[in-house]
Chains A and B, each alone.
Chain A
Amino acid sequence: MNDNYDERDDELIAMAGKLSQEVAPKRDLWPAIEAVITTPQRSRWTPMFAQAAAVVLLVAGSSGVTYLAVTEQHENERVLTQVVPANMLFEKQASAANTPSDPGFRTLVVISRPNSTRSSNDSHQSRALKLKRTCRRSLMRLMKSMSR
């Protein structure tokens, strides 16, 4: 099998070729090998399924938390819009306020903004639009009255 016959001529190499290639082990190694190969091994898929299940649980868990957080936020906004009828408040504030820097005026603007941008629910969106229109109309009325 060797490819370099010059080296094969070397006496050392030639002697090494006479060394015994086969050596019997002092003890029988088969029982230990048999014990390993006949033991049913755990399926390679088990840890993969466990990992997949963990990922699904993680995604589902985080989605649930996000859903709850968003729902709660919407609930707060709904409560806010119900408790504070902007139209009435705005009209009240507008009649009371002499200048746009009035605290009542600023509060009204803050209330109206989240409803127009964040809502995803249809009814909530329509309610927000309605509120927005009302606010705009009231604001126009206020501006007109101020210009006079």
Chain B
Amino acid sequence: MEALLTTADSDYSPQMISADEIALSDEADWIAQAQRADARAFESLYRLHIDKVYGLCLRMTGNVSEAEDCAQEAFIQVWNKLDKFRGDSAFSTWIHRIAVNAVLGRMRKSKREHDRIQVAAETGPSPVAMGDGGELRDLSEAVDRLPEGARHVFVLYAVYGYSHEEAGNMLGIAAGTSKAQLHRARRLLSQQLKQEGFEA
């Protein structure tokens, strides 16, 4: 989507400015205001990024309530660490990193991975499948059933497109370990989908 905006240049020529550019400009303003403890500006940042952060948390935890808790925790940490954001990376990447840490921290604390899988199985269709239709829904549910380490790597690498180095950095593991976990995830997913009669 693009917007036709007239700018106050010297020759008054109209310029095409994309919605992304407008969003980035707004985002930079909101970040600056939020760094001065403006909660309204921070709410705007929250509205801009919540779907991505919640989506990541949901795919990594596979549980709605845990994903909500992780997303909340992530945004609280973002607020507390805002003064440390220098703009070296994109704000969305920075938030993603914090969200991944929130998920890992929560999982380390709770140590309820086994219970989580049971609860997810008992609550019917996987919450991760929301928004995905047909074959993607099957894949989404299969991803949710992966063991924790393999699932985290698969989500970051295959769904969000991070490299093994980036995924390894976020998860606190070596790039080689990330590759091994991805291999494991692919093998397990193929087995699961084959059992369900799904041809990948």
Contacts and interface: CB of A to CB of B under 8 A. Distances in A.
Interface of A: 1-4, 7, 10-13, 15-27, 29-30, 32-34, 36-38
A13 B42 CA distance: 35
A29 B42 CA distance: 13
16 contacts: A1-B161, A1-B166, A3-B164, A3-B165, A11-B200, A12-B139, A13-B157, A13-B158, A16-B143, A20-B131, A21-B159, A23-B51, A24-B50, A24-B51, A29-B50, A36-B76
B68 interface: yes
B200 A12 contact: yes
B162 interface: yes
Interface string B28-64: 0000000000010011001100111011101100001
A2 to B, nearest CB: 6
Given A15-B200, A37-B42, A10 B72 contact: no
A95 B132 CA distance: 115
Interface residues of B, number: 47
Contact of B71 (A15, A29, A36, A37): A29
Contacts of B132: 19-20
A7 B39 CA distance: 43
Nearest to A36: B76
A60 B158 CA distance: 63
Contacts of B55: 20-23
A40 to B, nearest CB: 11
Interface in B124-147: 128, 130-132, 135-136, 139-140, 143
A2 B39 contact: no
